[in-house]
Amino acid sequence: MIRQKIIKILQEAKEEIRIKYKAEMRGIFGSYARGEAKQGSDVDILVNFLEGATLFDFVGLANYLEEKLKIKVDIVPVDTLRREIKDKILNEAIYL
């Protein structure tokens, strides 16, 4: 799947995701953001979980996005990024 299609799908789902999974979509990073994705690459997605979000919201969001995108996804909450890689990830991210 091409990057623009992924971004479009994520943008269209932002409001539903915020309501249903208590999460704000921030952007994508990794191989898809850099234009280096290959067959089998997953999509790395930055999110901010809202107050009251649970593990069920995290898992539900991952399942929802994998079904919607037809690609394996890695959900990465911004506040869990390790300090030593945070700047690199935030600089390469394509924000929604």
Q: Is 44 a catalytic residue?
A: yes
Residue at token pair 């300090």 = 83
Strands (E), the chain: 23-29, 43-49, 73-77, 94-95
8 Å CB contact between 21 and 57: yes
User: Which residue out of 44, 57, 74, 79 is catalytically annotated?
Assistant: 44
Q: Is 79 a catalytic residue?
A: no
User: Which residue out of 42, 57, 74, 87 is catalytically annotated?
Assistant: 42
Strand partners, 46: 27, 76
Residues tagged active-site: 42, 44
